[in-house]
Structure 1
Amino acid sequence: MSKENKIKVGISIGDLNGIGIEVILKTFSDKRMLDFCTPIIFGSTKVISFYKKDKFPNIQIQSISNCKQAVEEKFNVLNVWKDDVDISVGESNETGGKYAFLSLKECVNALKKGFVDFIVTAPINKENIQSEEFKFAGHTEYLENELEGESLMILMANNLRVGLITGHIPISEVAKSITPKLIKNKVELMYNTLIRDFEISKPKIAILGLNPHCGDNGVIGSEDDTIIRPTIQEIQEEGKLVYGPYAADGFFGSETYKQYDAILAMYHDQGLAPFKTLSFGKGVNYTAGLNKVRTSPDHGTAYEIAGKNIADENSFKEALFKGIEIYKKRTNYELLTENSLKKTKQQ
């Protein structure tokens, strides 16, 4: 890749007491990763050095104070703060949440200003990060608030892509949240994402039912027959290849999911439990639908193994590669679309 095309990736460090920094360091201890992108880690050299110590001797930290100072083929650490931070490895505390937010905030600001091309976020603790500035259920909701567009959480690994109709909400609120408008909106987001970000010209999408056995004709619930099925029929009349509802257990158990480009689950665990069973450690969380690209690994802070140098970096590495891939495909799509419009206007 030529220098003028080297992609800049912003990386937030997540909860500094978890495994986020460790998997970042492990990823870039393979110097070949610097051939694919120029990383800018939003944190502090003091914190990164604490985890680096003698475990990653081949990583040389390039300390910078703004994104313009980033050096290609270097491990750039942008100093968001100068504080001496007390690191409590493996513990959930206010300090971990405070600096996780500072890292995320500056990383997203750089993304909005175009100083980085896309971002990868290391795991946060959704409880200790809460503050006056961060009152969100997670990364997805925060990014939707900060960026343009409507978000759709997609977990992906190889050709398996699972999106969510409802996201981080209690199970008690799921059924009343499922409406024709919401289903159509999420289908549209998934459909456009598959075309724009994955270069799939005619996406084929499966939709899971809400109730066990899709309600068994009203015996176990009516939503599948009164809301979901009619809505799918309306979407099909628009010419989209959308099918369902499918009972989630049989759908995954029979490997029917392999016949589709993407799946939309009605709620968080319905989609993510089978996804992580099939792909844990290789999965990537992608926030689709927004004007900027963000990916993350499919795991959490993993306090129980933090600092033991046993965390697996493969999911984070996959998030980085997928971010690069999506960014390139989206850029290509936008160029093609722009050129097509120019030709149409000239004619």
Structure 2
Amino acid sequence: MNYELQKPIVGFTCGDLNGIGIELIIKALSDPRIVDICTPVVFASNKSINFYRKGLPDINFSYHSTKELNKLSHKQVNVFNCWDEEVAIVPGQLNELGGKYALISLEQATLALKDKQIHALVTAPIHKKNIQSDTFKHSGHTPYLKEMFGVNDILMFMVADNMRVGLVTEHVPVSEISKHITKDAILSKLKMMHSSLLKDFGIEKPKIAVLGLNPHAGDEGLIGNEEETVIKYAIKDAKYHMMVFGPYSADAFFARGLHEKFDGVLAMYHDQGLIPFKSLAYGEGVNFTAGIEGIRTSPDHGTAFDIAGKDRADASSFLAATFEAVDIYRRRNGYADARRNPLKKISARFIANSVDERLEETEA
């Protein structure tokens, strides 16, 4: 089935100017077929784009320059100029300027997303310490977006073709994790994951697995008791509203490939979820922010200062983040359309033809 939906406008932040962000943008958006599936808008400056373009002589990258989001070209990449001044870019160097202009890009792109001037946002990597300022006091993009969109909770949702992993806690010191593992916190994340699997991923009856906090999921209280006193009660309550199972021992869960039998997995803390995710997502993982009205994705890696400016950055994850943003936009439109008309029970999977298929059709 082929349903024509509006081509989304997708914004891209530049990330730390001295990292690999702009190089990834140039590599990912240089494929002319990209403008067949979305209208790209890079929040940076002509000068910063040209600086990195000179170091990629084998890539043909052209763009339309603008200072007004209502005057975009829908047939090529757009660069929305967030600043005009010359900035000293030093690839691979951690300095104040890299963080300053990363924040300018992020602020303007986020406002555009909130104001619905763009339909989705793909964020390039930032250096979490380097970007700190009077207006940015967060541990990363996710808590920043939580504040900007004014929501009570938010879910860091790592997604790939073979798995989707959400986190109860994100950038929290290991010594403090257990005090954040509460029944309310787990239920909140489960509700957001369930809602996202329905409307963002087109899964009609999602099955969710919950991991334990302790080794071997506590071994019935022998190795920690959070599973017995907190996690099991959260799962019991959640079962009234969704199909949720667990708690599972994290090591055996991934080692036995059980993640492929579920539509989503809820991990208790950052490394419990991200180590297996990054190991098994084959370099094409995407960080998706669930729980906000806007659509935001990013690659599953950092600024990579060690290879910045050396034409060694792999754009696979960044391209996957772009594809995912477009697909989620389509699925959301399909889900909303089906909700408005209960007689029109069209699965979002059919409405949201995968981007890969669309590119193949264009190529043919």
Q: TM-score range by the shorter chain?
A: over 0.9
What is the 5 A alignment of 1:176-195? 176-195=179-198
Determine the structure 1 residue equivalent to 2:219. 216
The amino acid across from 1:99 in the alignment is Y
What's the offset of the Cα at 1:64?
0.4
> Judging changes above 3 Å, is the alpha-carbon distance between structure 1 residues 239 and 6 closer, same or farther for their aligned structure 2 residues?
closer
The alignment status of 1:28 with 2:34, answered yes or no, reads no
Equivalent residue for 1:285, pick from 259, 277, 287: 287
Equivalent residue for 2:311, pick from 305, 309, 312: 309
What's the offset of the Cα at 1:5?
2.2
What is the 5 A alignment of 1:72-221? 72-149=74-151, 150-221=153-224
Give the Cα–Cα distance (whole angstroms) in 2 for the partners of residues 212 and 159 of structure 1: 24
Deviation sequence 1:319-340 (CA, Å, 0-9, x none): 0000000011112212222334
The alignment partner of 1:68 has SS state of coil
What's the offset of the Cα at 1:154?
0.6
Give the Cα–Cα distance (whole angstroms) in 1 for the partners of residues 305 and 341 of structure 2: 49
Whether the aligned pair in 2 keeps the contact of 1:64 and 1:76 (CA below 8 Å) is: yes
> Judging changes above 3 Å, is the alpha-carbon distance between structure 1 residues 213 and 13 closer, same or farther for their aligned structure 2 residues?
same
Determine the structure 2 residue equivalent to 1:344. none
The alignment status of 1:243 with 2:274, answered yes or no, reads no
What's the offset of the Cα at 1:148?
4.7
Whether the aligned pair in 2 keeps the contact of 1:153 and 1:288 (CA below 8 Å) is: yes
Give 5+ residue unaligned stretches, structure 2: 344-364
Give the Cα–Cα distance (whole angstroms) in 1 for the partners of residues 18 and 260 of structure 2: 38
The amino acid across from 2:230 in the alignment is I
The amino acid across from 2:185 in the alignment is L
What's the offset of the Cα at 1:185?
0.7
What's the offset of the Cα at 1:310?
1.1
The amino acid across from 1:177 in the alignment is H
The amino acid across from 2:226 in the alignment is E
The alignment partner of 2:42 has SS state of strand
What is the 5 A alignment of 1:292-303? 292-303=294-305
The alignment status of 1:275 with 2:270, answered yes or no, reads no
What is the 5 A alignment of 1:64-79? 64-79=66-81
Determine the structure 2 residue equivalent to 1:345. none
The amino acid across from 2:25 in the alignment is I
Give the Cα–Cα distance (whole angstroms) in 2 for the partners of residues 59 and 14 of structure 1: 19
The alignment partner of 1:83 has SS state of coil
The alignment partner of 2:201 has SS state of coil
Identity, % of aligned positions: 48
Give the Cα–Cα distance (whole angstroms) in 2 for the partners of residues 339 and 131 of structure 1: 47
What's the offset of the Cα at 1:226?
1.1
> Judging changes above 3 Å, is the alpha-carbon distance between structure 1 residues 241 and 63 closer, same or farther for their aligned structure 2 residues?
same
Give the Cα–Cα distance (whole angstroms) in 2 for the partners of residues 204 and 179 of structure 1: 21
Q: 4-13 or 69-78, which moves further after superposition? A: 4-13
Whether the aligned pair in 1 keeps the contact of 2:62 and 2:77 (CA below 8 Å) is: yes
The amino acid across from 1:248 in the alignment is A
Deviation sequence 1:294-336 (CA, Å, 0-9, x none): 0000110000011110110010000000000001111221222
Whether the aligned pair in 2 keeps the contact of 1:45 and 1:61 (CA below 8 Å) is: no
> Judging changes above 3 Å, is the alpha-carbon distance between structure 1 residues 3 and 16 closer, same or farther for their aligned structure 2 residues?
farther
TM-score, with structure 1 as normaliser: 0.95
The alignment partner of 2:64 has SS state of strand
What's the offset of the Cα at 1:61?
2.4
Deviation sequence 1:234-293 (CA, Å, 0-9, x none): 222x04210000010000001111110000000000000010011142100000111110
Deviation sequence 1:149-170 (CA, Å, 0-9, x none): 4310111110300000111111
The alignment status of 1:10 with 2:11, answered yes or no, reads yes
Whether the aligned pair in 1 keeps the contact of 2:40 and 2:76 (CA below 8 Å) is: yes
CA RMSD of aligned residues (A): 1.8
TM-score, with structure 2 as normaliser: 0.90
The amino acid across from 1:79 in the alignment is N
The alignment status of 1:234 with 2:249, answered yes or no, reads no
Equivalent residue for 2:63, pick from 54, 58, 61: 61
Give 5+ residue unaligned stretches, structure 1: 342-347
Whether the aligned pair in 2 keeps the contact of 1:154 and 1:285 (CA below 8 Å) is: yes
Give the Cα–Cα distance (whole angstroms) in 1 for the partners of residues 197 and 187 of structure 2: 15
Give the Cα–Cα distance (whole angstroms) in 2 for the partners of residues 340 and 148 of structure 1: 30
Deviation sequence 1:2-32 (CA, Å, 0-9, x none): 9982211111000010111001100112111
